[in-house]
Chain A
């Protein structure tokens, strides 16, 4: 590969367009408002795509190495049903149920050990430690245990999600201020009353923090697990197979879907968070 571009026209054009988009972002960023918050990142992303397209075309990069965004876009448009099938398998059947089960189980365990400081003191360091482990290493084992279909993917996601969630929920349950707990005590509130009316609401910012971390983990877990065995559809399956077939445009199409799904997933959690923890200083307008 030479450093001198083969088609410098494309490069010049792309650079120009990039500059224009960039300048537009800079100007817009000075303004205030909701629309700006949305438009600027979109422009920013667009400017990167333009640069990418320009570089690929200018140096005539082989499509088996890095396809141009336009090629990827065409592939996405042409492969709707396949992409949907993969999405359904990996995200809807693997990641989402795993996420829900993992988070739910963490919640249940957190409540169960809530009354035992002893168990908490034991489980928290262990949980913190496990949360830092490369759990993905368990993927081949879980595929062996739970079979090829989505169950094993969900299992990987459950394991990956469980500990970060547990740690966050337990921390959240301890997050209420002493003054707030004392108030409950002066009213003679029971454990359950205190839990429902004080500690759970106070824990929500932590819970959502955990959910956000878990949402990206869930996606990675579900996709990686497919590398160790899967039916012949699914995002991880498609990615690994198409790399072997040099179908790089399809690989990028799946990556785009994954990024989109991940962002929507994350955005959804952030939205619910806004609704539930509207009172938290970080959420107030």
Chain B
């Protein structure tokens, strides 16, 4: 069977499990022919799946839930990432030591559907994001960490597995930085999960395919966790731009392994509900307006994990 998987971002170790499953023949063993479609700055996985360009996608839960409210019935079928890797990284010299110091500072944030966790965090802190005095000034951060290096922002969004290390590589010592992990602030939302369209799930044949897919993918993830360097090299082989470097990807794999650790693929419903609660508490401008129904299911993981 053919399966098309749409990634959320470019080929990198963040998605190592899928590349490993493919390279090691785990998909093949299940009788699947998986095509992995890398993402990019202008590719909204939600839109691709809505247009029928993919069968299953990797995305963050906030984005999926927001899309669901827009009328695109996405369902989480598995959650290989147990914890969140998102954080705000600040320059110490700006005097920031705690979230209370954010007021009147400039913060860099990713948009394109990645902004929801940040927005709900700020509203929980009671900080306005419209640039009014006493609130924070938000910048749409581009594809790199330059705004911090050029001191255009006091803090920028980073992932533990990627941008943080670019700041370090750029020559700024960890001592000169202050980081706030969403996980630690109690505002973490679920990151890279697998989502499909609800109506397709009604088809038993599709269910069966997804069971096989999730099973093989998790096998890939666990292999990658156990063999991070090999996994990173597999990712590198799949990078068609040829611009990625081994050091970057190996280090990223190491960090990713920390996030997938402890997940067998099954969604932790409590964590999902925490995500929903956090998104709902968005004050005047919440990301979602009502608790979603049927936004996740354990049918697939139940079958996949039942050996």
A complexed with B:
yes
Residues of B near A247 (CB, < 8 A) are 70
Say whether A231 faces chain B, with CB atoms less than 8 Å apart.
Answer: yes
Asked if B47 and A246 make an inter-chain contact with CB atoms under 8 angstroms apart, the answer reads yes
Residues from 70 to 105 in B contacting A, C-beta threshold 8 Å: 70-72
Asked if B140 and A245 make an inter-chain contact with CB atoms under 8 angstroms apart, the answer reads no
Asked if A243 and B112 make an inter-chain contact with CB atoms under 8 angstroms apart, the answer reads yes
Residues of A near B114 (CB, < 8 A) are 244
Residues from 38 to 64 in A contacting B, C-beta threshold 8 Å: 62-64
Asked if B140 and A64 make an inter-chain contact with CB atoms under 8 angstroms apart, the answer reads no
Report the nearest B residue to A229, measured CB to CB: B142
Residues from 44 to 101 in A contacting B, C-beta threshold 8 Å: 62-65
Asked if A230 and B139 make an inter-chain contact with CB atoms under 8 angstroms apart, the answer reads yes
A241-B44 contact in complex given A148-B147, A228-B143, C-beta closer than 8 Å: no
Report the nearest B residue to A227, measured CB to CB: B41
- Kindly supply a per-residue 1/0 record for chain A positions 197-221, scoring 1 wherever the CB is within 8 Å of any chain B CB and 0 otherwise: 0000000000000000000000000
A144-B42 contact in complex given A1-B52, A64-B50, A244-B113, C-beta closer than 8 Å: no
Residues of B near A232 (CB, < 8 A) are 109, 111, 129, 131, 138-140
Point out residues on A near B: beta carbons under 8 Å.
1, 62-65, 140, 143-144, 147-148, 226-232, 237, 240-241, 243-248
Interface size class of B (residues with CB under 8 A): 20 to 34
Report the nearest B residue to A147, measured CB to CB: B152
The distance in angstroms between the C-alpha atoms of A63 and B111, with both chains bound, is 21
Say whether B46 faces chain A, with CB atoms less than 8 Å apart.
Answer: yes
Distance (Å) between the CB of A278 and the closest chain B CB? Answer: 44
Say whether B198 faces chain A, with CB atoms less than 8 Å apart.
Answer: no
- Kindly supply a per-residue 1/0 record for chain B positions 52-73, scoring 1 wherever the CB is within 8 Å of any chain A CB and 0 otherwise: 1000000000010011001110
Distance (Å) between the CB of A255 and the closest chain B CB? Answer: 14
Residues of A near B71 (CB, < 8 A) are 62-64
Report the nearest A residue to B130, measured CB to CB: A232
- 4 closest A-B pairs (Cβ-Cβ)? A244-B113, A244-B112, A229-B142, A228-B142
Report the nearest B residue to A247, measured CB to CB: B70
Say whether B230 faces chain A, with CB atoms less than 8 Å apart.
Answer: no
Residues of B near A63 (CB, < 8 A) are 70-71
Say whether B171 faces chain A, with CB atoms less than 8 Å apart.
Answer: no
Distance (Å) between the CB of B105 and the closest chain A CB? Answer: 14
Q: Return 20 A-B CB contacts under 8 Å, by A number.
A: A63-B71, A64-B71, A144-B146, A226-B140, A230-B139, A230-B140, A231-B138, A232-B131, A237-B140, A240-B41, A240-B111, A240-B112, A241-B112, A241-B113, A241-B140, A244-B112, A244-B114, A245-B70, A246-B66, A246-B72
Q: Is the interface of B mostly helix, strand, loop or mixed?
A: loop
Asked if A64 and B72 make an inter-chain contact with CB atoms under 8 angstroms apart, the answer reads yes
Report the nearest A residue to B150, measured CB to CB: A144
The distance in angstroms between the C-alpha atoms of A111 and B129, with both chains bound, is 47
Say whether B141 faces chain A, with CB atoms less than 8 Å apart.
Answer: yes
A243-B47 contact in complex given A63-B71, A64-B70, A237-B111, C-beta closer than 8 Å: yes
- Kindly supply a per-residue 1/0 record for chain B positions 143-162, scoring 1 wherever the CB is within 8 Å of any chain A CB and 0 otherwise: 11011001010000000000
Report the nearest A residue to B115, measured CB to CB: A241
The distance in angstroms between the C-alpha atoms of A79 and B111, with both chains bound, is 20
Say whether B204 faces chain A, with CB atoms less than 8 Å apart.
Answer: no
Residues of A near B41 (CB, < 8 A) are 227, 240
Residues of B near A245 (CB, < 8 A) are 63, 66-67, 70, 113
The distance in angstroms between the C-alpha atoms of A171 and B70, with both chains bound, is 54
Say whether B242 faces chain A, with CB atoms less than 8 Å apart.
Answer: no
Say whether B294 faces chain A, with CB atoms less than 8 Å apart.
Answer: no
Give which listed residue, B46, B63, B142, B150, contacts A64 with CB less than 8 A: B46
Chain B CB within 10 Å, residue with most, of A63, A144, A232: A232
Report the nearest B residue to A241, measured CB to CB: B111
- Kindly supply a per-residue 1/0 record for chain B positions 110-145, scoring 1 wherever the CB is within 8 Å of any chain A CB and 0 otherwise: 011111000000000000010100000111111110
